Amino acid sequence: MKTSDPLNGLAAFLAVAEHLSFTKAAEMLAMSRPTVSAQVDQLERRLGVRLLHRSTRHLFLTEAGAAFHERLRDVTTMVHDAERAAIHHQEAPVGRLRISAPPDLGSSHLTPMIAGFLADHPEIEIELELSNTAVNLIERKFDLAVRGTIRIDETLITRKLGESAVLICASPDYLSRRGVPEKPEDLADHHCLHFSGLRWGRIWKCGKARMFAVSRSPRVLR
pLDDT over 70 (residue 207): no
Residues sharing a CB contact under 8 Å with residue 106, sequence separation 6 or more, in sequence order: 128, 130, 146
- In this model, does residue 119 exceed pLDDT 60? yes
2 — pLDDT class (breaks 50, 70, 90): very low
Alpha helix (H) ranges present in 92-179? Answer: 103-105, 111-120, 172-178
CB atoms closer than 10 angstroms to residue 63: 10
Mean pLDDT of 93-115: 86
Q: Return the minimum-mean-pLDDT range out of 87-101, 105-119, 139-153, 205-219.
A: 205-219
Task: Compute the CA torsion angle 13, 18, 21, 25 (nearest 10 deg).
Answer: -60
The pLDDT of residue 169: 86
pLDDT tens digits, one per residue of 175-200: 999 999 888 888 888 888 776 655 55
d(CA 143, CA 54) in angstroms, rounded, equals: 55
| Residue type at position 11 | A
Segment 125-136, tens digit of pLDDT: 999 999 888 888
Contacts for 13 with CB less than 8 Å, ≥ 6 apart = 39, 40, 43, 51, 68, 69, 72
Q: Is the pLDDT of residue 153 over 60?
A: yes
Summarize the confidence of residues 1-9 as an average pLDDT. Answer: 57
